[in-house]
A and B are shown apart, each in its own frame.
Chain A
Amino acid sequence: MSKNEECRYMKSHEWAYMDGTEVLVGISDHAQKEITDIVFVEAPKLGRKVSSGEPVATVESVKAAFDIYSPLSGEISAVNPEVSKDPAIVNKDPHGQGWLFRIKPSRKEEFNALMDWKQYQEFLKTQKH
Chain B
Amino acid sequence: MELGTVPNSKLDVYSQMALDEASLLFSPEESLTLRFYSWSEPAATFGRHQSFQFVERALIKREGKPALSCARRITGGGLVFHGEDLTFSMTFPWREPSTPAEIYQRLHHLIGEQLRQEGISLNLKSEPSSTAGLNKVCFSVPEKSDITTLDGIKILGGALCRKNKRGLYQGSFKTSLISLSLNQIKQAIFRAASIFKNKKPEEKINFLDHSETRLLVDKYRSQDWRQRVP
Contact = CB atoms under 8 A, between A and B. Distances in A.
Kindly state the interface size class of chain B when it binds its partner. 20 to 34
Given A65-B161, A66-B162, 8 more contacts: A35-B100, A36-B100, A60-B49, A62-B104, A63-B143, A63-B159, A65-B159, A67-B164
A55 B163 contact: yes
Interface stretch (B35-43, B52-60, B72-80): B72-80
B141 interface: no
22 contacts: A12-B164, A34-B97, A35-B100, A42-B229, A58-B48, A60-B76, A62-B101, A63-B76, A63-B77, A63-B104, A63-B159, A63-B160, A64-B100, A64-B159, A64-B162, A65-B76, A65-B159, A66-B162, A67-B162, A67-B163, A67-B164, A127-B97
Contacts, number: 77
Contacts of A65: 47-49, 74-76, 159-162
Chain B contact residues: over half helix, strand or loop, or mixed?
A: loop
B49 A64 contact: no
A103 B185 CA distance: 49
A39 B100 contact: no
Nearest to A42: B49
Nearest to B77: A63
Interface string A64-91: 1111000000000000000000000000
